Each structure stands twice: as C-alpha cells, then as structure tokens.
Structure 1
Amino acid sequence: MSIEVQGSLFTDEDSDLGHLGASVTRRELSRGAWVDVRPGWASSVDLFDRLVGDVDWRAERRQMYDRVVDVPRLVRFYSETERWPNAALIDAKTALDAHYRQELGEEFATAGLCYYRNGSDSVAWHGDNIGRSATEDTMVAIVSLGATRQLMLRPRGGGPSLKFTLGHGDLIVMGGSCQRTWEHAVPKSTRATGPRVSVQFRPRGVR
C-alpha cells in the first residue's frame, strides 16, 4: 500500500503512540464482542485544527422515510489508495497495526472522518456492517479529537446501553462481533458543545 502524505507531525514526545500495550483496557461484551479503551492516546498531538482546516469535508443527504434530509455531520472517507490529509493519520495507523495486527489478522486500511460541528450534530444507532463485517469479526478503531462527546453502545435487538465519554485524544476500538451484534451512536447534546473530529480506522472491505 502506498499513500502520499506530508511530513510527519509526531515527535519523540509522542512516542506513546507506538506503545499501546498494557495501557489499553479491554471490556468484554456479549456474543463475542469487545471494546478496548486507551484514554489520551493522541492528546499531545495538535491534529484537530489541522484536520478541520485541511480536509475537504463533504455534506451528505440521505433518504429518510418520505423525504431527503441533511446528514447531521460532515464526512470524508479516505481509501487506501488516496492521499490522506495528514501524516499523523499514517503514524496512528502504523501504531494500531503494530498492536492489533496479530489479533486482527490484517492491517487497517482506510480512514473515515466525521466532523461534529456542535452538539446538534450526531450519528444514529448503527453498526459498521457493510461489507465483510456483516459476516466476519473485525475491528474499528476510533480516535476522538476536540470536544468531549458520548459514544453509546447497545446490543442489536435491544438491551441496556453502555456509555463511553470520549475526550480529546482518546482511542476506542470495537472488536470481535461488535459491528454485527451491537450498535453504536453519538447522540445529540443538549449542552453547549464544541466541535469534534472522529477518525475511524477500518480494515479493507469494512464500512
């Protein structure tokens, strides 16, 4: 795989990106799903402003029942053959590959970005189960940058939900059967909330 990027933003002070190890806490869920959390993984990297300014964010519209509505966030998906907007994303992918490659059985390949401009932007309950993840175990690694938001998880088909509070630089990885047996969402916030960028790393063929 060859992805063109600008020079790396990470310095020696950011070496924790290459050493996830025991700093990652795993929570086993039901039906073969699990979640890893690593608070403050990228907190020393001033990446949020660069992504907000450099990414060619796109507004999407989709059919909702009998009308077409705006998707309540801006998005940009980068395939493995595209030029990624910042070398810091490649460095993060490399660190994730080093930590998870043996368990995952492959490398992460794509980067999907979401820009939540304020508390009114959100994403509804869903699983990233388009493609191979509809039938295979996989991983989706999310780096949260900017304002603190809630990521909710619940068993598909109903059941008590879990709440993860993600601050700037926090890493959460959903693995095993999570994308097909659980759902996740970022709900709207009724409190004044600043902007947030979510970076989702996925293997090839997973959306």
Structure 2
Amino acid sequence: MSVEFQGDLFDLASAPVLGRLRGSVARTELADGAWVDVRRSWVTGAGEVLRALVRDVPWRAEQRTMYDRVVDVPRLVHTYAADDALPHRVLGSARQALTNHYLPELGDSFATAGCCFYRDGRDSVAWHGDRIGRGATDDTMVAILSFGDPRRLLLRPEGGGASIAFTMGHGDLLVMGGSCQRTWQHSVPKARSAGPRISVQFRPAGVF
C-alpha cells in the first residue's frame, strides 16, 4: 500500500521514543464515573511507526449490512491478539507502559491491539461503545495511540446529549476509562479535509 505523507509533519528522520506517563497525563472527569486521560506527544519521532503501520499491517476492508444493503466500512482494520508480534517495537513498549501505569485502576493488563486506518477525511467510525464481553458489564479501559493527521474523537452520553471533542494528533495518547464504554459513546466523524491517520487501540482481553 502506497500513501504519501509530509515528511516534516511526521518527523520521519527521528527515532520513536515513549515519554513518561506519571505526572504527564491530563484527566477529564465525565458523568457517571467515566473519565478520559490525554497525554500529548507521548510518542516522539512517531513517523517511523506510522510508516511501519502502513507498510506491515495486513490491512483488510470490511463490509456490514445497513438496512437492506451491504456497504463498505469506511476504514481499513486489523487486530493483533495478545500473543501476536506487533508491527513496531515501540507498540510493544507502549502496551507494557500502559499496563504498568494503569494496573492499579484497571486490575488487568492491556492485551490486544486493534488498528484502524483512516485513509482520508471520508473514513470514519460511527457512535459506539466497546460493549462486547467485559466492557458490557464492568469498568474497563481502551487506550488509543494516534499517528498521522489530527482527527477529532467525539464522546457523548449513552442516553444522548451534547458531545465533547478531543483532537488527537500525531503521537498522542487518549485513554477512556471508568464506566466510559458503558455510559458514553465515542466516534470519529468524517472531516472536510484530512490526510491519512492510523489509530492503535489497546484493550484488555475480553473487551471488544
């Protein structure tokens, strides 16, 4: 797969490095026991990771039934199981760092790594919560690492209401925790103008 990126924007010449989490994460408390943590530029030199994701992930297109027809899912996807080799070493380090930092709250390790490739502003993901498996009944966490063009992630209460926007940039980390998957929904809306962006979502085992 060939995708053009701006080299100066995606720091292609720098080796990727993880920053620290302790004392560097900003938490936003939401209603009903949900919260969101944001750590800006957690991965510096993230351009190398972006290139590896584009090149090495076995991306696939999915389809879904909507009303009376089958439509293309507007993004490419792939999921790495807990024992699968990840496409860049820094992703393994990130998963372990997240486990170390959040274990006292989560009570579990981050295991799987789901990848989504938003090729341009036409790709998106609709409102949803990760409610299959453990996420349907228990508090859990989903940690999202973003690479590439900035895109907005929106959150809104499950029963409806005003949304909250977080713009995720190159190398940024966002963690949804507490009751977020049960009591809130999130989405990545279409954008009028946007370049390629890849998100890597780390989840505990049994959360989908």
User: TM-score under structure 1 normalisation?
Assistant: 0.91
2:188 aligns with: 186
Superposed displacement of residue 178, structure 1: 0.2
User: Aligned residue pairs: how many?
Assistant: 194
Distance in 2, matches of 1:81 and 1:134, equals 24
Which of 165, 186, 197 is 1:163 aligned to?
165
2:37 aligns with: 36
Which of 133, 136, 145 is 1:134 aligned to?
136
Which of 118, 121, 137 is 1:119 aligned to?
121
1:60 aligns with: 62
- Superposed, 1:9-158 pairs within 5 Å as 14-16=17-19, 19-45=20-46, 46-158=48-160
2:199 aligns with: 198
Question: 1:139 touches 1:175 (CA, 8 Å); kept in 2?
Answer: yes
Question: 1:40 touches 1:171 (CA, 8 Å); kept in 2?
Answer: yes
Question: 2:116 touches 2:199 (CA, 8 Å); kept in 1?
Answer: yes
Superposed displacement of residue 84, structure 1: 2.2
Superposed displacement of residue 88, structure 1: 1.7
- What is the identity percentage for the equivalent residue pairs of Structure 1 and Structure 2? 60
1:3 aligns with: none
Q: 1:20-69 CA deviation, whole Å, 9 max, x = no partner? A: 01110111100110000001101323210110011000100011111110
Measured on the aligned residues, the alpha-carbon RMSD in Å equals 1.3
Superposed displacement of residue 15, structure 1: 4.9
SS of the residue 1:47 aligns to: helix
Letter paired with 1:204: A
Unaligned runs of 5+ in 1: 1-9
Q: 1:94-141 CA deviation, whole Å, 9 max, x = no partner? A: 111111111110110000000000000000000011111100000000
Question: 1:43 touches 1:170 (CA, 8 Å); kept in 2?
Answer: no
Letter paired with 2:202: F
SS of the residue 1:169 aligns to: coil
Letter paired with 1:197: I
Change over 3 Å in CA distance of 1:54–1:15 after alignment to 2: closer
Q: 1:158-192 CA deviation, whole Å, 9 max, x = no partner? A: 0110000111001000000000100000000012x
Question: 2:17 touches 2:90 (CA, 8 Å); kept in 1?
Answer: no
Letter paired with 1:203: P
Question: 2:129 touches 2:181 (CA, 8 Å); kept in 1?
Answer: yes
Change over 3 Å in CA distance of 1:188–1:81 after alignment to 2: same
